[in-house]
Amino acid sequence: MALILTNYLTKFEMEVMGAEDPYLGLSLLTQHHFDLVILDLTLPGMDGLEVIPKIRDISNIPIIISSARDDITDKVIGMERGADDYMPKPYDPRELVTRIKTILRRTSNVVEDNSNIKQALFVANPKAREICFKDISLELTAAEYDILFILLQHKNGSVSREQLLYESAHIDDESSIKNIDVIISRIRQKIAKIDAENIYIKPIRGVGYLLSDR
């Protein structure tokens, strides 16, 4: 299956590197730059669901789960742990290409072009799990980074508290929505140490929050 997908994706000018062993895959992530991970759940030595948080410990790279396991529980756990999409086998590889392009188009909005780095107030470095504000690195906890990164992905657009809770890989699944407000408050305080005159994370009544760079 991996060989078939590799050959197919190559036709769409995608360079693919395969890893049959999850530990090898995690090692490759630290040695090369990748744009996206296609992850199977049935792996030797480690379940694919356990691989997701290990990937998230070192990278915010988009993850598409491709698995013959169609249990809704696997899908829910996979998405909660940080996967971006879930495709149960069998599926048409053309759909995979479409989903890859959609995810990359969405995440590319976060990556700043070198010519614009100095103009951007917030700049994220997903590989280093670092976010800079006005060229100053913010000292963020893992949960704070997750929340600010999600807001940055949707910059100038509202994000619900529920979305922030469920898309964060470092917030306990049993946490309450109120915990999001606490984390947002801490992030605001850290931003205020650099710029106390403006509020960049704004509450949206009845919805959640919006990150503005204006």
CATH number for the domain formed by residue range(s) 2-107: 3.40.50.2300
2: Cα separation from own chain's centroid:
23
Instruction: Give the tens place of pLDDT for each residue, 149-185.
Output: 999 888 888 889 888 988 888 877 566 778 899 999 9
Report pLDDT for 109.
56
pLDDT score of 115: 40
What is the largest distance, in Å, between two alpha-carbon atoms of the chain? 55
Q: Which of the two residues, 97 and 178, has the higher pLDDT score?
A: 97
Output the CA–CA distances (angstroms, integers) from residue 102 to 10, 82, 99, 152, in the order listed: 17, 17, 5, 18
Integer CA distances (angstroms), 213 to 96, 155, 159, 190, in order: 34, 8, 15, 16
pLDDT of residue 170: 80
Residue 110: pLDDT band by 50, 70, 90 thresholds? Answer: low
CA distances from 4 to 1, 11, 18, 42, 188 (A): 5, 11, 11, 17, 47
Confidence of residue 108 (pLDDT cuts 50, 70, 90): low
Considering only residues 171 and 198, tell me which one the structure prediction assigns the higher pLDDT.
Answer: 198
Domain ranges of the chain: 2-107, 114-211
What pLDDT score was predicted for residue 106?
76
Answer yes or no: are the C-beta atoms of 195 and 148 closer than 8 Å.
Answer: no
114-155 pLDDT, tens per residue?
444 345 788 888 888 899 999 899 999 999 999 999 998 888
Give the model confidence (pLDDT) of 44-92 as tens digits: 989 999 999 999 888 888 999 998 887 888 889 998 888 989 998 888 8
pLDDT of residue 116: 42
Would the pLDDT of 33 be above 70? yes
From 175, 177, 179, 167, select the one nearest 52 (Cα to Cα): 167
pTM metric for this prediction:
0.52
Average pLDDT over residues 80-105: 88
What is the torsion angle, in degrees rounded to the nearest 10, for the CA atoms of residue 62, residue 181, residue 159 and residue 139? -40
Rounded Cα distance between 134 and 118, Å, is 8
pLDDT top residue among 174 and 37: 37
Tokens 């249990």: give the residue. Answer: 71
Whether the pLDDT of residue 40 is over 70: the answer is yes
Evaluate if residue 193 carries a pLDDT over 50: yes
The answer to whether residues 91 and 100 touch, using CB atoms and an 8 Å cutoff, is: no
The tens digit of pLDDT for each residue in 16-28 reads: 998 888 988 988 8
Q: Which one is the CATH code of 114-211: 3.40.50.450, 1.10.10.10, 3.40.430.10, 1.10.1060.10? A: 1.10.10.10
